[in-house]
Structure 1
């Protein structure tokens, strides 16, 4: 069997040396064609949520598994008795100011990520940063109470399910109208997927933050 692998490898190497790659058609702009097909100016968002949607689906699934894994691995440990947080007033003010800015940036990236640099993952990271900055300046019991009161865990799971359903519908070939290029309501399902990913990443980050605060005492 080893010789089969060796022969296959040599054959592939000879093929790459002998048969040249087809010359690309430089008269066609790949970025422009992606923008026209997707209906959004941000070609990166178009690639993530349209051309490479399979990858994005599994990225969301992997992130979900990582959150479940963190909760599962730390579930049998003893909660930390000491929680390290900011106690001086200047640090608290700066952290909460940074949290406000990060939250506003996250909302902007989620809503307009298909029009400008940004998108769902960046928006979720900004939202998770805002939650983390609030967590290191507030009571862990208060953070946990808000997490349960607003059913954040349920919303996180719902966002994953809706994202998966919309992604499957898109992969089947059914798309919403693209609308006017550059308008806020444009790009078909891409803006909705952006928002769903942002919600998923932000709420998932919140869950992980609470777990590490409870069992590690710090972020």
Structure 2
């Protein structure tokens, strides 16, 4: 049977290399008109953010809920395990300096992606990932107790839950038909509720990542 798969793979490769892609050529003007329509409809230059946070906002609500359930699942599955006696972290000075420098850069990128995600490539999910990366880099260079004390001091768990509730409430209001003024396309204060939704998603993903990082450090000793 292997030779059948090999022949089929070679035939598919030749098709991609030799035959022209008529569908792509014919769809190019249509694609451009669709993107222009999305930008005009949402009021943001980043059509991807417009689709995620307006045209298919109903799906995005459940994506946020799924991420929340995933974090709850991590907490549930690790609840019965014994905390790890050893935590593996960077101890040499050069690695610590580089990791914390990377964390600073990631944190700044996270803020940029959250605030300007509707104007340029980026958005809430990307910003949350960058923020979670920053937290992870700090975690592997700091003591577990210090990280947990910061988590408790700033009420990160409560802020995460509040951000989810605010996102769902704001998204529901948008789906009903009530929206903020779109403003001038290309300006920072444009796109109606899209910038606010981006910021809420970024907070949720970053703080949810912080929760998962602390749990894995506590029960597994590493990220």
The reply to whether TM is greater than 0.5 is yes
Instruction: Point out where structure 2 has 5 or more consecutive residues left out of the alignment.
Output: 1-25
Query: Post-superposition shift, 1:26?
Result: 3.8
In structure 1, how many angstroms separate the alpha carbons of the residues matched to 2:199 and 2:65?
Answer: 16
Distance 2:89 2:31 in 1: 58
Tell me which of 33, 38, 48 is aligned to 2:37: 33
TM-score of the two chains, using structure 2 as the length reference: 0.86
User: Structure 1 residue aligned with 2:115, among 75, 91, 111?
Assistant: 111
CA distance in structure 2 between the partners assigned to 1:186 and 1:180 by the alignment = 6
Which residue does the alignment assign to 2:22?
none
**Residue 68 of structure 2 is aligned with which of 41, 58, 64?**
64
Tell me which stretches of 4 or more aligned residues in structure 1 moved more than 2 Å: 23-28
1:1-52: CA deviation from partner (whole Å, max 9, x where unpaired): xxxxxxxxxxxxxxxxxxxxxx989497000000001000000000000011
Shift in Å, 1:55? 1.1
Are positions 1:164 and 2:153 aligned together? no
Q: CA deviation at 1:54?
A: 1.1
Q: Deviations over 1:75-113 (max 9, x none)?
A: 111000000000010000000000000000000000000
Give the match for residue 182 of structure 1: 186
Residue 134 (structure 1) aligned with residue 132 (structure 2): no
SS at match of 2:207: helix
Which has the larger helix fraction?
A: 2
Does residue 1:205 correspond to 2:209, yes or no? yes
Distance across 1 between alignment mates of 2:80 and 2:173: 40
Q: 1:54 pairs with 58, 80, 97, which one?
A: 58
Q: Residue 193 of structure 1: which of 194, 197, 200 is its match?
A: 197
1: CA distance between counterparts of 2:221 and 2:165? 32
**Runs of 5+ consecutive residues of structure 1 not aligned to the other structure:** 1-22
Aligned residues: 197
